[in-house]
Structure 1
Amino acid sequence: MKYIVTIFTMIAFAGLMALIFLYAQIRFDAYKIIDYTPKLTTQIYDRNGELIANLFDDENRLYVDYKNIPPRLIEALVATEDTSFFEHSGINLEAIFRALVKDIHAMKMVEGASTITQQLIKNTVLSRQKTLTRKVNEAILAYTVESSLTKEQILERYFNHVYFGHGYYGVKTAAHGYFNKTLDALTLKEIAILVGLPKAPSSYDPTKHMDLSLSRANQVVNRMYALGWISEAEYTKSTLEHPMVYDETLTRNKAPYVVDEVIKSLSTEYDDIKKGGYQIYLTIDLKLQHLAHESLKVGYNGMVSRMGKDANASDLNGAMVVMENGTGNILALVGGLDYAKSSFNRATQSKRQPGSSFKPFLYQKALDWGYSPLSEIPDISRTYVNSETDEEWKPKNYENDFEGLITLKEALVHSRNLATINLLSLLGLDSVYKELKKDGFKNLSMDLSLALGSFGISPLEYSGFYSMFANYGVRTEPMLVRKIVNRQGVEKIYETKTQTMTSPKQSYLMIDMMKEVVKRGTGRNAQVPGIEIAGKTGTTNSSVDVWFCGFSPDIEVITWFGNDNNSPLKKGETGGRSAAPAFKYFMTKYVELHPETTREFKIPEGVESRKIDGTTEFFTDVSPFPKTNNVKQLKEDSGLMF
C-alpha cells in the first residue's frame, strides 16, 4: 500500500510538473491575449469626414470597444457558438464529454467543443489542428485568460480579432466592408451573416457564395428563435430578408496620389502608419479632388485633339494642385491622369521648369524696390556671351518681335521675355539671386536665364511660393494633414506655417497686374464669368513644360502639362492654350459648387489709384507713379541703346 501511494504521488507530482512546464511555455501566449494590441487599420478622411482610404499591413482591422458592440450581435454569437458562455470558466466540460463520445464512436476527432474563449485562443495564438497537445494547451490558456479577463473583455477581443473573410478582420471591418454600415445599423439578418462567417470564412463569403451565406445565417436566426431570444415576427422577417452586399477593394482608395503623399510625409514621424490604427484627417476635399482630375482630363483631351489621330500621346501627362489661400490647406492634389498606368506623382515628385510663370516673382522684387507697374523697361534684343565658353545666348520673345520701351504691367501681361531679362539686368542679377535664395527657392540659375524660370520645381512646392500673391504678400506653406488621432484618442493638430514676403499694398499691385494677364493677356483662356481671376502662364523653350498658375480671392490652382520623357509638346502648345482651359474648367465648376466664394479682390490700405486714359492704375508710396523724365533717366541708367 505504501508503494502504491508513493507511485500515485510521483505520478501526481509528475503531472503537476508537466502542467507547470506547459504553463511556462504558453504563458507568453496568454499575455498576447490579455495585453491585446493587434494591428489596426489606419483610416484617412477628407476635410468633410468622408473616408478616402484604409491603410493596413496584412490585416485590415477596425477596432470596436465592447460598449459599442450591439447586444443583439453578442446574443447571436453566444446562441450559435457558446450558449453557456457567461456560466463556464473557459471550457465547457459537458460539451467536451458529449464531443468525446462522438469522437470515440467515430474512432477519430470529428467534433469539437470549443467555447468562445477557446475559439479566441485558436484564432490568436494556437493552430486549428485537432491534436491532444493543442487541446491541453488550449484548456490551460482558456483558464488563464478567463481568470485574467472579464467576459466582456473576452468578447471584445473575439469580435476584434476573428477573421470574417474577404480580407476583413474584426466585426466592425466586416460590417463596413460587406454592408457599408456601422454596427448599430445592422439588421438581424446582417448580424447573422457576420456571426456565421468565422466558422468557414471562404465558404460563407457573401460576395462569392451568397446562397451558402444566407443558409448559414438562417441557422443562426433559427437558433436564436429556438432559444426564445427573438420573437416569431423577428424570425420570419429575418429569414426572408436578402441583404445588399458590397464587393469593394479593401483599401477603398479614392485618391491614390494623395494617399501616397500622406504615407511618404508621415512615415518618418510614424513608423507604424499602416498598423497603428490612426485616424488621419486631411485638408483635401474629395469633391474637389475628383473635379481636379476631371479638369486635367479636359486640358489633356484638348491637347490630344490638336495632335492628330496618328500622334502618340502616351507620355503626355499633367498635375494640378488646389490650395486655400489663407490657410494653405491643400484642397486637391492630382499627380497624373491615370494612377493605374503610372503611380509617379508629378505634383510632388517631378521637378519641371516653371518658365514664364516665374516672372511675377521677379516683377514683385522690382515693385518692392521702388518700380511702379507703369515704370518703363527696355523690350529689346541683346546677345549674351559666356565668358568661359564663348557660347552665345540670344533670347527672344514668343512673338519674335520687340517693343522698345514697355511698362512693367504690359511686359507681364504679354509675357515679354526680353523685357523681363532686361529688368533682371537692371535690378542686378546678384541682388535678385540672393533675395530669391533667401525666400526659399532652390536650384536657381546664376545667370540671366533665371528671368525665364530655368530651374526645376514641383507643382506642390511651387504652389507654396505662389501663395504669396494670392495671400497679399504672405507665403503659406501647403498643408495636407490637418489632424491625427491615435488609437488612444490623443489628437495632434497641425498648424499653418506662414512667412511674410512683402506688404499687402505691394502685393496688390502684382495682383492687379496678374488680373490683367487674364483679362487681356496670355491668360485670357482662364477667364471665369462672375469672378475676378489673376494668374500667369508659363511656357518653356520648345513647349517642354506648360503651366497656368492662377487664383481667385479664395483659392489658388497650379496646373502643369508636359511629356514624362521631357520631349517637346506639339508646336503651338502654350500655358495659355493648354493649361489655362483646365484651370478655367475647374474654377467654373468650383464657383457652381461654392456660390458663396469671394468674387472680388479687396484693395488693402495704402493703395492709391488714378485714372489714365480711362483705365484705373494703382500706386503706393513705395511704388509711386513714374516721373515724367522716367524714360530718359532709365535710358541713362541702363546704358542700353534703343
Structure 2
Amino acid sequence: MRILLGILGALVLTVVAGLLYVYAQIRFDAYGIIDYKPKLTTQIFDRHGKLVANLFDGEHRLYVPYEAIPPRVVEALVAIEDTSFFEHGGINVEAIFRAAIKDIQAMKLVEGASTITQQLVKNVVLTRDKTFQRKLNEVVLAFKVESELTKEEILERYLNHVYFGHGYYGIKTAAQGYFNKELSELTLKEIAILVGLPKAPSAYDPTRNLDLALGRANQVLSRMNTLGWVSEEEYITSLNELPLVYDETLTKNRAPYVVDEVIKQASIYLEDLRHGGYELHLTIDLALQEAGHQALNREKIAILERNPEADEALLNGALIAMENGSGEVLALVGGVDYGQSHFNRATQSSRQPGSSFKPFIYQHALDAGYSPLTLIPDISRVYSDKETEDDWKPRNYGENFDGLVTLKEALVRSRNLATINLLSALGLDVVHRDLTRAGFERLPQDLTIALGSFGISPLAYAQLYSAFSNAGEMVSPLIIKKIKDRFGNSQTFQASKKRFTSPEQSFLMVDILKEAVEQGTGKRAQVSGLEIAGKTGTTNNNVDAWFCGFSPEIEVLVWFGNDDNTPMNKSETGGRSASTAFADFMKEYLALYPQTRRAFVRPNGVESAVIGGKEEYYTTTSPLPRPSQGSNGAQEGGLIF
C-alpha cells in the first residue's frame, strides 16, 4: 500500500511539476488575452452618419463592449458551445474525460471538449494544430485567463475576436456584414446563424451555403429550446424564419475617390489609421456624391454621342462641390469610373483653367477702382518677346473684336483681347504678385495668364474660387470634420479662411458672373428657381473644358478633358459640356435640398443705379463713371489707351 501511495504521490508530483513547467514556458502568452488589443477597423461616415467605407489591415473587426451585446446573443452562444460556462473554472472536466475516451479509442485527437475560454485561448494565442502538447497549453492558459478575467470579459473578448466567415471578425462585424443590422436589431434566427458560425466559418457562411447555415442555426435554436431558454412558440417562429442575407464587399466603399483622399489626409494624423478603430466623420454628402458621379457620366455619354470618334477610354471628368461659407466639401468625384482608373482628377490632376481664371483679373481691376461699366479696349495687338524674338498675337473666340466694351461685358462674353489689354493696363507684375500672395502657384509671369495658361487641380481651384462664392473670403476645402478614437476622444477640424477682397467688391463680381450665366457663355448652367453665378473656361484646341459656378450656398467646379491632354472636339467647350453637367448636378441638389437659399444677398456698401434701363451696382471703391452716355450703353470716363 505504501508503495502504491508512493507511486501515486510521485505521479501527482510529476504532473504538477509538468504543469508548472508548461505554465512557466507559456504564462506570458495569456497576456495577449488579458491585455487584449486587437486590430480594429476604422469606419468612415458621411455628414449624415451613413457608412462610406471600412478601412482595415488584415482583419475586418468592429468592436462591441459587453454591455452592448444583447443577452440573447450570450444565451445562444453558451447554449451551443459551453452550457456550463458560468460554472466551470476554464475547463469542463466531465467533457474532457468523455472526449479523452473517444481520443484513446481513435488513437488521435478527434474531440476537443473545449470550453469558450479554451476556444478563446486557441484563437488568440495558440495554433489550431491537433496535438496533445497544444491541448495541454490550452488548458493551462485557460486556467490563467479565468483567474484574471471575469466571465463577462471572457465573453466580450471571444465575441469580438473569433472569425465569423466572409472576412468578418467579431460578431458586430458579422451582424452588419451579413444582415446590415446592429446587434440590437437582430432576430433570434439571425443570432442563431451568427453564433453557429465559429465552429466552421466557411462551411456555414450564409452567403455561400445558406442551407447549411440555416441547419446549424436550427441546432442552436433546438438547444435553447431544450434548455428552456426560449418558448415553444418563439422556437417554432424562429425555425420558419428566412432572414435576408447580404453579400457585400468588406470595405463597402461607396465613394472610392473620396476615400483615397481621406486616407491621404488622415494618415498625417494617424499612424494606425487602418487598424486603430477610428471613426472618421466627413463633410461629404453621399447623395450629392452620387449626383456628381451621375452628372459626369451622363455628360460623358452625351459627349461621345456628339463625337463618335472620341476616345472613350481617355475622356474623363471631375467635380467638386463645397459649401460657400464653411468650405465643407459635399462631393468630390475624381473621374467617371474608379474601376477603370484610380487616378483622382479632382485632387491629383493639373489642368489649365482657361477663361475661368479671368474673374481674378477683373476682381483686381474692380479693387483698383475700375467699375463694371469702365470701358476697356477689345482690340488685337501683337506682343513681342524680347528674349526669344517671338511674336504673340492672341485672338478672341470667334476671331472678331469689338473695340471699346465695358468691363462687365468683356467678362460676360469672355473676351480674350479685352482681358489681355486689361491685364497689361493693370500691370502684369502687380497682378502676378497679388495673385501669388492670394494662393496661386506657378503662375507664368507673362500675359498668357490672362487666358489661364497654368496648371491647377479642381480641389485647389475650388479654394481660390471661393473668393467669389464666399463674399470675398477664400476658404480651404474641408473633407474630414471629426476623428473619433475607440475610447470616445475626438478631434474636430475647421477650414482656414483668407480675405481676398471685401464683401461689397466681391458682390460686384457675383453680379457680373450671374449675368455670364444668364446672357453669356454659361447659359447652359442655368437652373430654374435658383440664382447661379459662374464662368466657363475652354483652353486652346479644346483640351480642357471648365465651368466654375456657385449658388448662394454652394460652389461647384466641373472639368472635362482627355487624360493624355489631347484635344477634344471643337464643339466641347466649358459652355457646353461642363456647364451642362453643372446644371444637372445643381438640379439634383435643389431636389434634395429645396430649402436652400435661392437668391444672392446684396451686402451693405453696394449701391445701385438704373442705367440704360438696367440696374447697375457700384461701391465707393468702384464708382460709376461720369453721367454722360458713352458707346455700348456704358458711361464715359472709363479706361483710355
Cα RMSD for the two superposed structures? 1.8
Q: Match for 2:360: what amino acid? A: F
- Identical-pair percentage: 62
Match of 1:234 in 2: 234
> Structure 1 residue 633: deviation in Å?
7.2
Report 1:496-535 matches (<5 A): 496-535=495-534
Question: Counterpart amino acid of 1:452?
Answer: L
Count of matched residue pairs: 635
Measure, in 1, the Cα distance between the counterparts of 2:173 and 2:189. 17
Q: Hey, what's the Cα distance between the residues in 2 that align with 1:512 and 1:167? A: 55
- State the partner residue of 2:639: 634
In structure 2, the partner of 1:137 is 137
TM-score, scaled relative to structure 1: 0.96
* Cα distance in 1 for residues equivalent to 2:43 and 2:79: 33
- Mapping of residues 572-583 of structure 1, within 5 Å: 572-583=571-582
Once the two structures are superposed, residues 463-511 of structure 1 have per-residue CA deviations (whole angstroms, 9 ceiling, x without a partner) of 1111110111011110001111100010111112111111110000000
| 1:335 matches 2:334 | yes
Q: Contact (CA 8 Å) 2:484, 2:490: kept in 1 or not?
A: yes
Partner of 1:122: 122
Partner of 2:591: 592
Report the Cα distance in structure 2 between the residues aligned to 1:4 and 1:98, rounded to whole angstroms: 26
Question: What are the within-5 Å matches in structure 2 for residues 190-269 of structure 1?
Answer: 190-269=190-269
The verdict on how the C-alpha distance between 1:498 and 1:244 changes in structure 2, with shifts beyond 3 A counting, is same
- Does 1:51 find its partner at 2:76? no
What is the Cα deviation at residue 445 of structure 1?
A: 0.6
Please state whether the residue corresponding to 2:134 is helix, strand or coil.
helix
1:390 aligned to 2:395?
no
Alignment deviations for residues 78-98 of structure 1 (CA, whole Å, 9 cap, x no partner)? 111111100111111111011
The answer as to 2:154 corresponding to 1:154 is yes
Please give the residue correspondences for 1:266-277 in structure 2 after superposition, counting only pairs within 5 Å: 266-277=266-277
Q: Deviations over 1:13-53 (max 9, x none)?
A: 76555444433332332111011111111111111111111
Per-residue CA shift, 1:372-409, capped at 9, x if unaligned? 11111111111112111112211111111111111110
Within 1, Cα distance between the matches of 2:179 and 2:19? 46
Give structure 2 stretches of 5+ with no counterpart: none
Q: Secondary structure at the residue paired with 1:634? A: coil
Letter in 2 for 1:243: P
Are positions 1:60 and 2:91 aligned together? no
Alignment map for 1:307-318 (pairs within 5 Å): 307-308=307-308, 310-318=309-317
Deviation at 1:58, TM superposition (A): 1.0
Task: Using the TM superposition, name which of 3-12 and 434-443 deviates more.
Answer: 3-12
Q: Does the 8 A contact of 2:374 with 2:637 survive in 1?
A: no
1:114 aligned counterpart, secondary structure: coil
Matched residue, 2:324:
325
What TM-score results when the alignment is normalised by the length of structure 2? Answer: 0.96
Q: 1:91 and 2:96 equivalent?
A: no
Residue in 2 that maps onto 1:23: 23
Is contact 1:547–1:560 with CA below 8 Å preserved after alignment? yes
SS in 2 for 1:31: helix
- Contact conserved, 1:381 with 1:402, CA < 8 A, in 2? yes
The letter for the 2-side match of 1:155 is: L
Write the distance in 2 (CA, Å) between the matches of 1:419 and 1:223: 86
Q: Distance in 1 between matches of 2:222 and 2:299?
A: 59
CA distance in 2, matches of 1:577, 1:25: 75
- Matched position secondary structure for 1:573: coil
Q: Select between 1-10 and 201-210 the one with higher mean Cα deviation.
A: 1-10
Residues 358 and 419 in structure 2, CA contact (< 8 A), matched pair in contact too: yes
Hey, what's the Cα distance between the residues in 2 that align with 1:28 and 1:559? Answer: 59
- The 5 Å alignment of 1:243-642 reads 243-308=243-308, 310-627=309-626, 634-635=639-640, 638=641
Aligned CA distance change for structure 1 residues 587 and 633 (closer, same or farther; 3 Å)? closer
> Would you say the 8 A contact 1:298–1:581 is kept in 2?
no
Does structure 1 retain, via aligned residues, the 8 Å contact 2:376–2:638? no
Q: CA deviation at 1:311?
A: 3.7
How far has the Cα of 1:168 moved from its partner?
Answer: 0.5
Q: Please report how far the alpha carbon of residue 108 of structure 1 lies from its aligned counterpart in structure 2 after TM superposition.
A: 2.1
1:316-349 deviation line (CA, Å, top 9, x unaligned): 0000000111110100010000111111100000
Q: Distance in 1 between matches of 2:180 and 2:346?
A: 32
- The alpha-carbon deviation at position 5 of structure 1 amounts to 10
Question: Residues 518 and 526 of structure 1 are in contact (CA less than 8 Å); yes or no, is this contact kept in structure 2?
Answer: yes
Letter in 1 for 2:639: L
The 3-state SS of whatever aligns with 1:108 is coil
- Note the alpha carbon deviations across 1:551-582, whole angstroms, 9 max, x for none: 00011110000000000010122100111000
Per-residue CA deviation, residues 336-363 of structure 1 (Å, 9 max, x unaligned), is: 0011111110000001000100000111
CA contact (8 A) 1:550 1:556 kept: yes
Kept after mapping to 2: 8 A contact 1:165/1:201? yes
Residue deviations 1:124-177, cap 9 Å, x none? 111111211111111111011111100000000000000000010000010111
Q: Which moved more, 1:358-367 or 1:20-29?
A: 20-29
Query: Shift in Å at residue 2 of structure 1?
Result: 11
- Taking the aligned partners of 1:111 and 1:283, their CA distance within structure 2 comes to 53
List per-residue Cα deviations over 1:402-443 (Å, max 9, x = no partner): 111111101100000111111111111111111011001101
C-alpha distance after superposition, 1:207-261 (max 9, x if no partner) = 1111111111111111111111111111111111111111111111111111111
Whichever residue aligns with residue 587 of structure 2, its letter is T
Q: Residues 399 and 233 of structure 1: is their aligned pair in 2 closer, same or farther, counting only changes over 3 Å?
A: same
Rounded Cα–Cα distance in structure 2 between residues aligned with 1:249 and 1:632: 67
SS at match of 1:422: helix
Which ranges in structure 1 are unaligned for 5 or more consecutive residues?
none
